[in-house]
Amino acid sequence: QSSVQVTGLADVYAGSMKMAGDASRKSVVNSGGMTTSWFGFKGTEDLGGGLKANFQLTSFIQVDNGTQGRFGGDTFFSRDANVSLSGSFGSVLLGRWMAPNFLPSVVGNPMGDSFAFSPLILHMDVPLFNASGWKATVPSDTGWSNQIAYSTPDIGGFKANLQYQFGEQAGDNGKKNVGANFFYFGGPLTLTGFYERAQISNPGQGTYLGTTKKDWMLAAAYDFKVVKPYLSYGQAKADNNPDKAKTLQVGASAPLAGGSLLASWAKTDLSFSDLDRKTFTLGYDYYLSKRTDVYAMYMNDKITNQSTGNSFGVGIRHRF
């Protein structure tokens, strides 16, 4: 009767970490070296006539210490909590789901969704709680609550999502997040991009950000087989902040000894503060099976006027 898939990913690594601006180095066992660990429940029901009902309930976890959520105050199903109807028309989804920025950023760099070692993801999504005071450039998390999202069907490799988050602010019914993204997967060529205009915080129910933030990015990759180069460029700006963040990323993956050599360099220029962040990561990823890979990563991280960081980690990522 019941038709639920229990699924997830456990990724944990041992490493020595020092980010730009850190006062000291730390030996760690940490979660999510390549992908933020998660577990959850998903299902699809065939309603006939090509129509399907789908649900997703997925939760971020920290496999090193057993804590639920990505950070203090994260909500339980902050990764996904939604129901959708899909068919030949595409899909209509209600609930919490990825923000428009997330999947393009993952597809647009060779380290995917590594919140520990991908230079692009680090610049966009991960604040540093050290002397550098680095802030994530994305306006409002990588997931949005209270969404209505429309996804187009796949048309010759092209797909797009239109996303609207109700602000649900008492006495101020107009505040909202809106955005869109697109993907083109045509043989060796990948093209992707997003635009967001955000006024509401995430995760959870959300509050007014006190300003309007805009963010966009375009990215491309091309698989030459011997090497797959990646290129992305984007900008982020809040109405109440003179700084515009401009992020350029170049990267590549290449087959090597049965695994993949991965390299990525990202530079974010904060235009008004006249601050630069430059992060370079070199890594190797080896698949023991379709579901399990081991990896080693080295990262160099620099911010103007801050101590330089060098980090390395060796880990295992297991899908279930």
User: From the CB of 62, what's the least distance to its own copies, in Å?
Assistant: 7
Residue 184 CB, nearest approach to its own copies (Å): 27
Please provide the DSSP assignment of the chain as one string.
----EEEEEEEEEEEEE--TT-SS-EEEEEE-SSS--EEEEEEEEEEETTEEEEEEEEEEB-TTT--BSSSTT--TT-SEEEEEEEETTEEEEEEEEE-TTHHHHHHTSTTTT-TTT-HHHHHHH----STT----SSSS-SEEEEEEEEEPPPBTTEEEEEEEEE--BTTBTT-EEEEEEEEEEETTEEEEEEEEEEEE--SSS--EEEEEEEEEEEEEEE--SS-EEEEEEEEEEETT-S-EEEEEEEEEEEEETTEEEEEEEEEEEETTTTEEEEEEEEEEEEESSSSEEEEEEEEEEEETTS--EEEEEEEEEEE-
CB of 80 to its own copies, least distance (A): 7
Burial letters for 186-209: b for 16+ Cβ neighbours within 10 Å, e otherwise? eeeebbbbbbbbbbbbbbeebeeb
Beta bridge partners of 315: 13, 295
Phi, psi of 245 (to 5 degrees): -95, 120
**Nearest distance, CB of residue 296 and its own copies, angstroms:** 14
Give the nearer residue to its own copies in terms of CB position, either 40 or 110.
Answer: 40
Task: Please tell me the distance from the alpha carbon of residue 211 to that of residue 144, in angstroms, as a whole number.
Answer: 17
Nearer CB in complex with its own copies: 80/113: 80
The distance of closest approach from Cβ of residue 197 to its own copies in the complex, given in angstroms and rounded to an integer, is 17
Closest separation between CB of residue 216 and its own copies, Å? 25
Closest separation between CB of residue 292 and its own copies, Å? 4
C-beta of 65 vs 88, nearer to its own copies: 65
Q: Which is nearer to its own copies, 12 or 263 (CB)?
A: 12
Q: Give the nearer residue to its own copies in terms of CB position, either 173 or 271.
A: 173
Please give the structure tokens belonging to residue 293. 């890979």
Closer by beta carbon to its own copies, 86 or else 264: 86
Q: Residue 75 Cβ, how far from its own copies at the closest point, in Å?
A: 5
Residue 220 or 296: the one with the smaller Cβ distance to its own copies is: 296
- The CB-of-289 to its own copies minimum distance in angstroms stands at 5
Measure the CA–CA gap between 300 and 267, rounded to whole angstroms: 12
Closer residue to its own copies (CB): 23 or 226:
23
Nearer to its own copies among residue 4 and residue 227 (C-beta): 4
